[in-house]
């Protein structure tokens, strides 16, 4: 089972990381997309969803663009995920369509509910400021690379320069 963000959430998180680390008050979608490897057309849709959730704000015109609506330390990763994917607890049984012989709860409920709760708790404790700081540390080579990384350390490359 792959437990990874969808493209929408991946792009939303990348955009917010970029905005948190951006030097100026307004950043164009094309700049974000180019720097973070995100198709601009899809990025604009994601940014509109983030704006509806009051995580980003925008200003039109030649000096406009996008900015975080709040300080990055006040935006949790959970807020971003839920604004783009919906609630982590969709109110569905983990054993969808299978032979569940119990009226009120299935045999997997306790395990699945506990795992979902742990994920939610971790995503709520991580902020955009946290992941933006980690992004900067990775860019400067000062981050500690965890032993369970899924990328070869030697082939890691930045898409943008800071």
Structural domain total, the chain? 1
Single pTM value for the model: 0.83
| Residue 160, pLDDT score | 46
- Residue 149 placed within a domain: no
Residue 17 located in a structural domain: yes
pLDDT score recorded for residue 155: 44
Task: Report the CATH number that the domain containing residue 61 is assigned in CATH.
Answer: 1.10.10.10
pLDDT of residue 101: 65
Q: Give the bridge partners for 127, in sequence order.
A: 76
Residue 57, in any domain of the structure: yes
Query: Would you say residue 98 lies in a domain?
Result: no
- Look at residue 114 and tell me if it is in a domain: no
Show pLDDT as tens, one digit a residue, over the chain (162 residues).
Answer: 677 889 999 999 999 999 999 977 899 999 999 999 999 999 999 999 999 999 999 999 989 999 999 999 999 999 999 999 988 876 667 776 666 666 677 778 888 888 888 999 999 999 999 999 999 998 898 988 888 877 655 444 444 444
Residue 113 lies in a domain: no
User: Per the domain annotation, does 153 fall within a domain?
Assistant: no
Q: Reduced to 3 DSSP states, what percent helix, strand and coil does the chain have, rounded to the nearest 5?
A: 50, 5, 45
Separate counts of helices (H) and strands (E) for the chain: 6, 2
Residue 97: per-residue pLDDT: 62
SS3 70: coil
Q: Which of 58, 14, 55 is nearest to 37 (CA)?
A: 14
The whole domain housing 34 covers 7-88+128-143
Beta strands 56-59 and 65-68 are: antiparallel
Q: How many whole angstroms separate alpha carbon 37 and alpha carbon 59?
A: 23
Per-residue confidence (pLDDT) for residue 5, from 0 to 100:
86
Residues 58 and 126: their CA atoms lie apart, in Å, by 24
DSSP structure string for 128-140: HHHHHHHHHHHHH
Q: Is residue 47 part of a domain?
A: yes
Q: Are the CB atoms for 17 and 43 separated by under 8 Å?
A: no
């Amino acid at each position: 089972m792959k437990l990874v963000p969808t493209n929408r959430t991946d792009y939303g998180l990348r955009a917010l990381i970029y905005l948190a680390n951006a030097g100026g008050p307004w950043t164009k979608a094309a700049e974000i997309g180019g720097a973070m490897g995100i198709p601009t057309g899809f990025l604009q849709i994601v940014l509109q969803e983030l704006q509806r959730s009051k995580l980003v704000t925008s200003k039109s015109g030649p000096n406009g663009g996008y900015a975080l609506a709040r300080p990055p330390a006040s935006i949790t990763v959970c807020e971003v995920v839920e604004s783009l994917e919906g609630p982590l607890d969709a109110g569905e049984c983990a054993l969808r369509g299978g032979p569940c012989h119990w009226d009120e709860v299935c045999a997997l409920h306790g395990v699945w509910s506990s795992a979902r709760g742990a994920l939610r708790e971790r995503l709520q404790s991580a902020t955009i400021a946290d992941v933006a700081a980690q992004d900067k540390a990775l860019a400067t080579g000062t981050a500690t690379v965890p032993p369970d990384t899924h990328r070869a350390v030697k082939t890691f490359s930045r898409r943008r320069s800071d």
